[in-house]
Chains A and B, each alone.
Chain A
Amino acid sequence: MTRLLLVELTRLRWRRAVVLLVLVAVVIPMVVLAVRAWDTRAVSDAERAEVRAQIERDFGVPDEVIAECLARPRQYFGPRAERFTPERLQRECSRTVGFRPTVSDYVGREPLTLRNELTTSGFGVVAVLVVAMLLAGTTFVGHDWSSGSMSNQLLFEPRRLRVWAAKAVAVGLLSALVATVVLTVYWGALGLIASARDVPQVDGITGEVVESVVWSVLLVTGAAVGGYALTMLSRSTVFTVGVLFGVSIVSGVLLAALPDGAVRWNPGTNAFAVVNDGAVYYVEPPPSCFVEQDFESDECRGEREVTRTQGGLYLGGVLLLAGAWSASSYRRRDVP
């Protein structure tokens, strides 16, 4: 098995399409890293002064408006305003009608906080890795089928499950390695930049990032092995990519047509939940919330959560099914 695995790793290394996809998986995250470093650069004193002046010009003096809000809260917040305490009314009026953007709002640049990056650019990088490694797993074995060399390989190693497993492990190892290296470099660099800029980070962020990286590596590896398994089943890269494309379109249409809760089954939502320890999605609150003007209770806020465990079980289950189907089909069917 080790010998076979080494051969498959060599075969991967010699496949130009795979090398190209690995390159994509490395270069795009590095571009994202550079863009994020640039977009979160500190605001200079001169820039800050200029923006403050601009805000004053654009938003004027809101004191009269706030006074109006405090005097006639029902006009601003509807019947629910009658339940507000004076402190809350002050807060709501300042926050809404007395809104004044911050300097960073105006400049459009937030300081580099790793917590924020986890759910934005970090997940984007994971998505790039997922797509690139899924395609690598697909094209790697699709080539074996299209060139007919699969039958040649079986003339040397007829134990098909071994061949299937060796290729799957090779694809998984490559994907895990690429994802680990890319994500380590990405988060390491972001951490260094943030530290150099003295941007304060929330406590325990390092642990959160490490946890996210570990789950991201698992997700990327699973996607690559899933792409491989589907192609071993369909025996064609084009077919697999077409099916994945079709599924993404059909599922998008279906999710739009089905009730809000169907978003729970969206692979993207579940992937996000796996990487970021949970994903929140929204459903339409029941009509009673509008009648009652209640937007505070859990039910009326419309927030729902997919936990990491749920997401992992869902995606892992799909991968397990695809893998089992693929391996048993490969074992049974005639090889052209």
Chain B
Amino acid sequence: MTGRPVVERAVGTGGRVSELVIETHGLRKEFRDRRGLHVAVHGLDLAVPAGGVHGFLGPNGSGKTTTIRMLLGLARATRGRMRLFDHEVPQHLPDVVDRVGAVVESPKFSPNLTGRRNLLLLSRSIGVPDTQVDAALETVGLVGRDADRYRAYSLGMKQRLAIAATLLKQPQLLILDEPTNGLDPAGIREIRETIRDLGEQGVTVLLSSHILAEVQQVCTSATIIGRGRMLASGHVDELLDAGTPSHRVAVDDPARAGALLAAAGLPATTDDDGRLRVESDDPAAITRALAAGEVWLTELTPLRRDLESVFLELTAGEALGEEGAR
């Protein structure tokens, strides 16, 4: 699975060829501190097609946030090239920044100002009318609490204010870094629906997350990275379908069944509960091999992988190490 081809000019939803809104080539970020050199991003090639919600997955410390910060001009790349809407960044970031909304890590606002005043300062800096602030507050459900100081907000309200800030620009690209962190289940659901709605309205969303169920539910495509390198990228269905499909088999005599399947060229392993996992996409072949040995099935279930298993398979051994401190 590692090294799975990256979409190039790019297979979007439904197999249409679409423009890329985010591209990176050989992106590298090094940090130097007293303990030496740390490489957070290792030559990352990322391609995010226009439209839909694109998941950006990786274990903690894999370089997701650093990549996002480089794209948004908050951190300098050590090497490599980045493009947003076909513009080289950071050189031409001012040309496209009005089309990009972003929440990077935790929301960051002035704690002593009200939610509304925080948004007003941002909207006025880009010449957006104050009425746009009202609309953004309405969208994220903060009307009525907008006159409260930011420091009095719950974490969920802070996240919603951060999303409201991104909506001030009416962006074509939304970059969200762990947007549901700290939210209660209802809040998570609301944010998820907001993201899905935005994707359906034509906004391209790059959703960085380590909540895999969330990504699987919301995203149309995804990129998985580990230790600052791209491990896989493509449509979510393609990622789930990749690798050898398998079936779960229950029989009275698993040992004999295993031998029969192996003789038929169908490798099988025995799970803790005594059932077999057979690596084959052909249920008829499994049935034939067992019936030939007079072993009768009590269960035959096709196993579809979920994103979590794909992710764990790809990122095995990718726990946060010395590299990727951010």
Query: Interface residues, chain A, CB within 8 Å of chain B?
Result: 3-4, 6-7, 10-11, 14-16, 143-144, 147-159, 332, 334-335
* Residue in A closest to B66 when the chains form the complex, CB atoms: A334
Contact B124 A334 (CB under 8 A): no
Residue in contact with B76 in the complex, picked from A4, A11, A332, CB distance below 8 Å: A332
Using C-beta atoms within 8 Å of the partner chain, give the interface range for chain B: 20 to 34
* Residue in B closest to A6 when the chains form the complex, CB atoms: B124
20 intermolecular pairs with C-beta atoms under 8 Å apart:
A3-B127, A7-B124, A7-B125, A11-B121, A14-B110, A14-B117, A14-B121, A15-B112, A144-B110, A147-B109, A148-B106, A149-B108, A149-B118, A155-B104, A156-B97, A157-B125, A157-B126, A158-B90, A159-B94, A335-B74
Residue in contact with B125 in the complex, picked from A3, A143, A147, CB distance below 8 Å: A3
Give B104-137 interface residues, CB cut-off 8 Å to A: 104, 106, 108-113, 117-118, 120-122, 124-127
Contact A151 B124 (CB under 8 A): no
Contact B76 A147 (CB under 8 A): no
| B69 beta carbon closer than 8 Å to chain A | yes
Distance (whole angstroms) from the CB of B281 to the closest CB of chain A? 46
Residue in contact with A16 in the complex, picked from B102, B112, B127, CB distance below 8 Å: B112
* Residue in B closest to A144 when the chains form the complex, CB atoms: B110
Residues of A within 8 A of B127 (CB): 3
Complex A-B, nearest 6 residue pairs according to Cβ-Cβ distance, in ascending order: A148-B108, A334-B75, A158-B73, A158-B93, A7-B125, A335-B74
Residues of A within 8 A of B104 (CB): 151, 155
Distance (whole angstroms) from the CB of A128 to the closest CB of chain B? 25
Q: A3-B127, A7-B121 are in contact. List 7 more A-B contacts (CB 8 A).
A: A11-B110, A16-B112, A151-B104, A155-B72, A155-B97, A158-B94, A332-B76
Contact A147 B124 (CB under 8 A): no
Contact (A152, B94) CB under 8 Å given A147-B109, A334-B69: no
Contact A147 B165 (CB under 8 A): no
Contact B75 A149 (CB under 8 A): no
State A143–B109 Cα separation when bound (angstroms): 10
Residues of B within 8 A of A150 (CB): 108
State A6–B113 Cα separation when bound (angstroms): 17
